[in-house]
Amino acid sequence: MKTAKINGQEISAEAVQFELDRLVKFYMSHGMSLEEVKRNLPKLQDKALEQAIGAKLLLDRASKLDMPVGAKEIDDEVAKVVSQVGGEENFKKALAAQNISEADFRKELERGARVNKLVEQACAGVPEPSEKEVADFYEAHRHEYVAEPKVLCQHILVKTSDGDLPEVKAAALEKIRAIRERIVAGGDFAEEAKRHSDCPSGREGGSLGWFGPGMMVPEFDKAAFGMKKGEVSGVVTTQFGYHIIYKADEKGGGAQTLVDVHDQIKDLLRHEARGRAVEAFVKELRDGATVEYVEAKGGCGCGHDHGDGHHCNCRH
């Protein structure tokens, strides 16, 4: 993966990967399929690098400006992070794992808040997309707005690996069968997932959210889409171990109307308009900086965010 130096300071591969993860999340939330992500990965990586360069230039400029950030703003951001990771204890563990103190983390949040204020200044004159722009975009891209079928599932995983002894695998299979028996007898799937699942999603009751065909490994994918709504699967074996799946809901595929995608298109157009404004501002900053492109190692380059709880079934 390529990276760059700004005025002699190198941008880390992790910073580029962070921008790539954000891009992939954004475009997948606006209709880009996993296969399209894979096809467009080189372009997305290039765009991620440019965004990382822009972020560095903005950070440098913001640090030189007197843009005060209130303590309450940082407190609110810390509270959001604490909530996202599942509480104060998990927050402290996460900081320790990254070898960063809470004081340093708050400083990072403060720097980010200054950058956000700078971005808002750059976007101050950007108008909201008009209804005509939204409708025109839909007409020009109508063929792209075809929804895939999707399912909403929870799962429980008991891990195994190829190197496990037969008796270890037998014990894992017995464990997942016992869990399934308790659930079928009336047990709470989410509680069983929290207590016994080896997948990070267990913290969320085994929830995998909505996903479409091809987003999970083949055996898992086939089982999830072959089930009826409200059904608990039998034991599903994948390379990761033994699973049981609960199918909470499903959506059929098909063409989407303007009403279906109105807010999605408006958000996309807003994002692109603000992006152009920020790009123009960054270009001014870039004209006064020295930018060198370099090759770097780091980041898996798959374009998938491995912190979202779905990684145990991700297809790379």
Q: In the chain, what are the domains?
A: 2-142+258-306 (1.10.4030), 149-252 (3.10.50.40)
- 178-187: Cβ within 8 A, 24+ apart: 179/244, 180/232, 180/234, 180/235, 180/244, 183/232, 183/244, 183/246, 184/232
Q: Find the angle CA(156)-CA(161)-CA(163) to the nearest 5 degrees.
A: 160
> Does this model's pTM top 0.75?
no
- Residue 297 is predicted with a pLDDT of 54
80-112 pLDDT per residue, tens: 999 988 889 999 998 999 899 999 999 888 888
Q: Looking at the DSSP assignment, which residues form a beta bridge with residue 211?
A: 151
Task: Check pLDDT > 90 for residue 177.
Answer: yes
Q: Is 298 helix (H, G, I), strand (E, B) or coil?
A: coil
Residue 298: pLDDT above 50? no
